[in-house]
Each structure stands twice: as structure tokens, then as C-alpha cells.
Amino acid sequence: MSPLLRSLRRGDPLIWFTGSALGVCLLMIAGLVGVILVNGLGFFWPRPLLEVTLRDGGAFLGEVENREQIPNPGHPDHLKKSRIQLRVGNRDLLGFDFKWIDEDEIARRQALPEAWFIERREYGPLIGTPVLLKEGEAVRARGPEAIGPLLPALLGKAERDRAAIARIEKGEIGEINYRIEQFRLLDRKLDLEARKDPSRDQGRERERIRQAVEEQKALYAKKQEELGRIVERAAPTTLTVQIAGGREKELRTLDIYRAYAANRLGWPGRLRIYAHRLWEFLRDDPRESNTEGGIFPAIFGTVMMVIIMSIIVVPLGVLAALYLREYAKQGALVRTVRIAVNNLAGVPSIVFGVFGLGFFVYFVGGTIDQLFFSAALPTPTYGTGGILWASLTLALLTVPVVIVASEEALAAVPRSMREASVAMGATKLQTILRVVLPAAAPGILTGLILAMARGAGEVAPLMLTGVVKLAPELPLDGFFPFLHLDRKFMHLGFHIYDVGFQSPNVEAAKPMVYTTTILLLLIVVLLNLAAIVVRNRLREKYKTSAF
């Protein structure tokens, strides 16, 4: 027998065939994850700054972002010459962040030791050389060598000042605004009551509300004053930076988030900045229409939405599966229902979004507003998108997955176990609660894992039911009732779409898209891991007899 024939007999080609199929799948996944990781994780790395002087005398300073062959189809120099992309920053001065420069036009390249990369509140980074540090009108230092050592202390102070301002603005003034709003609603309520029952005297209540509002307003004025003092104290310190080409920009140190001399950084310095940026990304609110700063609200919104969704979808799905598997008479009808449920999982998610908008937001939310929040109308409370409606819509979207998985888990509970329970004199309900459900719990959790993975990555339905580009408040905070299910929220998936495709500054936003994607993947993985750990514990506890 020839070796080829022998190999055929052993089934080698099939092994190769199936193995290659798996290989292709793995390669594609690894490629996707790799592209995301490389692009996303590189974003925070502080790169050296290059000064490029052009033949025509122009000069640009920035990080080298890219290098490519110049396409010029039909000409002999097609893909022969190359150009580099510089991230030059200074958008307020230049009008652009990125610049393509043909290498032919470059007269000189130079790594300036005094080139600084300055992250600030607005307009993206400022890249240039610090020339002057002033406090009010008095000059504190001149030239980069003198300014450099002074900056860390100044920036530390700026950070503390910003934190103090944020505390007053978001915390204390936020609380005052919240109270004033509550009193306004009380007032509105009295208006409504007065219309119904004009004879009743509301003088005392009105007076109390008026006084309380006055009190809050006085408090508000005091806080404003305090805020003004902090800003005043911090503002006079300014830094003047000269950019490539000689123009200068004066900047309040209060607005500077970070500054470093990129070409003088050693490895430890770079690593420190990298870690710091990463941490900031996770912890901070977004700035500059989401292209800078952090994405904490989006992380928070995503996790919270998935949790609310899980809380809704598990009982719903499990109860439905229990009925289908344990109580319904197995026949044509149940089979039809089962097929319908399976197919429901294939309905485009935007359709669920439209349904969520029409049913949950307008109908249910509108009704709730009419019944319980009429004082606030016409401003909707629940009659507009919010985290509750988004979670409910996602629960609806993922409930087929949970039903199918739960049904399978229930079916897998051995008949002998149910019989044992029934033979002991247990009712059907007791059997289900005490024996069947605990034994099916790991399988049900598998369904939840699948549902979470699907739900966390869904974007389209959320756009209609409560996700926004920028949510000023988290759905969970220190104000009663703490959990604000009516609030709009941010979501990583939507963030990716928004930053990647709705941003005015796409080039600057691109790395943000990758990093956000990494984070979304990471969160899905973490949520899944948590569920898997729980499932394995349960499996260990309720493992069925091997014999």
C-alpha cells in the first residue's frame, strides 16, 4: 500500500482539513485582537518629538505618527517616494492636529531636547518649548532650563485646584441645584393642586418653599464666590510656550494636565507617564468632545446596564423556560413557541431598539410620567430614554438566549432525580425549587454569560433608548434615591461609534476608538469570568453522579 493511501485510510486529510478550519478562525480572531491591542495600547506611550524643517523654511514639531509610500497612480513615481505624518498638536494655533509631510521637502530633522509635550484642557496637546513662566505680571522664570524644574510643583497644585473646583461644582453646587429643582417640583405640584381645589389656602406651604429656595440660593451664591476665589488664586500663573515656527501661546497652568520634555525622558519616566495616562483614562471624565480625557462614565454605564439587564433577564428567562419545559404539554404549540423564541434571537437589534423606544420609552415611560411625575411635565422623567429602558430593551433582546440555555439545563437534570423527589411526596413546585433549579443553575448561568456577552456589545438599540454622547451625571450617585434609573448614560460601544465616526477630529480620536474597544472587550471578559467562576462553584456543589 502506498504511503498516500495509508495516510488517507488513517483519516489524515480530515484532520488537516478540520485543523486548518480552526486555524483560520483563530488567526482571524488573533489578528483582530492584535490590531486592537497594538493600536490601542500604543496610544498612551510618550513618543519622542521630532522637529522637521522644510525646504521652504517652514518648521513643524511633533510625534511621528505614520510613514507611507505616496500613491500617485499612473505616474512613474507611484509608491516610490514616501511621506510622514506628524502629530503636531497646537490645533488652536495651526488649525490642524496632524500634518503629512513629503520627505522630499524636508531639509532637516532634529530631536530638540527642549521640546515639550503639554496636555491641556482644550484644543488637544500643545507641543513646543516653554519660554516664560509668569505669576500675574511678575516673571518667575525664563527659558526651558529654568522653567522645567518648577513645573512639577505647579502642575501638582493645578491638579489640586482642579479637584477642589470639581468638588464644589459637581458635588456641592450640584447638590444645591438638585434641592432647588426638588422645591420647584413641589411648587409645581401645588399649582396642580390649586387648579383642582382652588379654595384651599396654600400660603404657608408656598412661603416655606420660597424660604427654602432663598436659603439654597444664598448658599449657591456663597459657593460661587468660593469657586471664584479658587480660580482667582490659581489663574494668574501662566506659562508661555513657543511652538515650531516661532508663534507663542500663553496658557494658564490651571489648564495644564501634564507636561513633559519628551526627548529627555528615560524609560522609567516614559513608563510612569504611560501608567499615569492609562489610569487617567480609566478614571476621568471625557474632555474635548470625547477625544481626550477618560471614559469612566462609559465604563460605569456599561457595567451598570449589563447588571440591570441581568437582574431582569434571568428571572424572566428562567420562568419562561420552566413553563415551557416543566408545565406546558409538549406538543405542536410548545414546539412552535420554542422555534419562535429561537428565531427571536435573530431579529436585528435595531428592531428591538425601535420597539423599546415605542413601547418602553413612549408608552410605559409616558404613562409613568403622567401618573407619578406630572409635576415635572412637560419635561419627561421616564418618558425619555434612560438606563432602565435601555436595560429592559436589552433584556428583551437577550431573553431568547437565556430561555434556550435554561431549557436545555432543565432538560439535562436527570429524570431519576425528579422521580426521587416526587416519590418522597414532594409537590412539583417543591421538586422544581429544591432539586431541579439548583441542579440546572450552572446551565442557566451559561445562558446568562452568553446574554451578557451579547448585551454588553450591543449598540444600535441603545442609541434609541437612552445612550448619550456625554452624560453629566452617573445613574448612581449620592443623592436620594441614589439609583437614578431614569437617567441617560454613556456606553463603551456607543462611545466607539461616537468617537470614531461622529468626532470632528477623527485623526485624533482614532487611538481612542482602539483603547475603548480594548476596554469594552476587557469588561465583557471580566463579567464573563465572574459568571464563569460562580458557575464552576455551583457545578462543583451540584455535580451530578458520575455513576
Grid cell locating 113? 531636547
Residues 323-342 as x/- pattern, contact with other proteins by CB under 8 A: ------xx------------
> Which of residues 106, 316, 426, 470 is near other proteins by CB under 8 A?
426
Q: Which stretch binds other proteins (CB under 8 A): 278-286, 414-422, 499-507, 512-520?
A: 414-422
Shortest reach from residue 326's CB to other proteins, in Å: 11
> Which of residues 74, 153, 423, 480 is near other proteins by CB under 8 A?
423
User: Shortest CA distance to 155 belongs to which of 186, 117, 123?
Assistant: 117
Cβ atoms of residues 477 and 471 within 8 Å: no
Angle between helices 506-541 and 296-322 (to 10 degrees): 40
536 belongs to the binding site for other proteins (CB under 8 A) = no
Residues 430-469 binding other proteins (CB under 8 A) are: 430, 434-435, 438-439
> Among residues 18 and 427, whose Cβ is nearest to other proteins?
427
> Among residues 8 and 424, whose Cβ is nearest to other proteins?
424
> Which of residues 24, 420, 526, 530 is near other proteins by CB under 8 A?
420
> Among residues 239 and 435, whose Cβ is nearest to other proteins?
435
Element (H, E) at 261: strand 256-261
- Coil/strand/helix, residue 94: helix
534 belongs to the binding site for other proteins (CB under 8 A) = no
Shortest reach from residue 413's CB to other proteins, in Å: 10
Question: φ, ψ for residue 64 (rounded to 5)?
Answer: -75, 120
> Which of residues 77, 214, 248, 419 is near other proteins by CB under 8 A?
419
> Among residues 406 and 421, whose Cβ is nearest to other proteins?
421
> Among residues 236 and 438, whose Cβ is nearest to other proteins?
438
Strand 82-87 to 116-120 pairing: unpaired
Shortest reach from residue 372's CB to other proteins, in Å: 41
> Among residues 180 and 426, whose Cβ is nearest to other proteins?
426
427 belongs to the binding site for other proteins (CB under 8 A) = yes
User: Shortest CA distance to 512 belongs to which of 317, 268, 281?
Assistant: 281
Grid cell locating 240? 508661555
Per-residue burial over 317-340, b if 16 or more Cβ lie within 10 Å, else e, is: bbebbbebbbeeeeeeeeeeebee
- Separation of alpha carbons 124 and 517, rounded Å: 21
> Which of residues 87, 418, 454, 491 is near other proteins by CB under 8 A?
418
| Count of residues in contact with other proteins, rule CB under 8 A | 27
Q: Length of the chain, please?
A: 547
Positive or negative torsion for Cα 422, 425, 428, 429: negative
Query: Any bridge partners for residue 504, and if so which?
Result: none
Residues 31-90 binding other proteins (CB under 8 A) are: none
> Which of residues 398, 421, 515, 517 is near other proteins by CB under 8 A?
421
> Among residues 235 and 422, whose Cβ is nearest to other proteins?
422
- Separation of alpha carbons 448 and 443, rounded Å: 9
> Among residues 200 and 543, whose Cβ is nearest to other proteins?
543
- Separation of alpha carbons 87 and 99, rounded Å: 7
Grid cell locating 244? 515650531
> Among residues 397 and 435, whose Cβ is nearest to other proteins?
435
Shortest reach from residue 328's CB to other proteins, in Å: 12
- Separation of alpha carbons 339 and 252, rounded Å: 64
> Which of residues 343, 414, 530, 537 is near other proteins by CB under 8 A?
414
- Separation of alpha carbons 459 and 462, rounded Å: 5
Residues 478-497 binding other proteins (CB under 8 A) are: none
Shortest reach from residue 444's CB to other proteins, in Å: 15
Grid cell locating 450? 452568553
> Among residues 177 and 427, whose Cβ is nearest to other proteins?
427
Shortest reach from residue 530's CB to other proteins, in Å: 23
DSSP result, 2-69 = -HHHHHHHHTHHHHHHHHHHHHHHHHHHHHHHHHHHHHHHGGGS-PPPEEEEETTS-EEEEEEEEEEE
Dihedral of the alpha carbons of 378, 381, 385, 389, in degrees to the nearest 10: -140
> Among residues 150 and 417, whose Cβ is nearest to other proteins?
417
> Which of residues 54, 422, 460, 506 is near other proteins by CB under 8 A?
422
Residues 371-410 binding other proteins (CB under 8 A) are: none
Q: Which residues contact other proteins by CB under 8 A?
A: 329-330, 414, 416-427, 430, 434-435, 438-439, 541-547
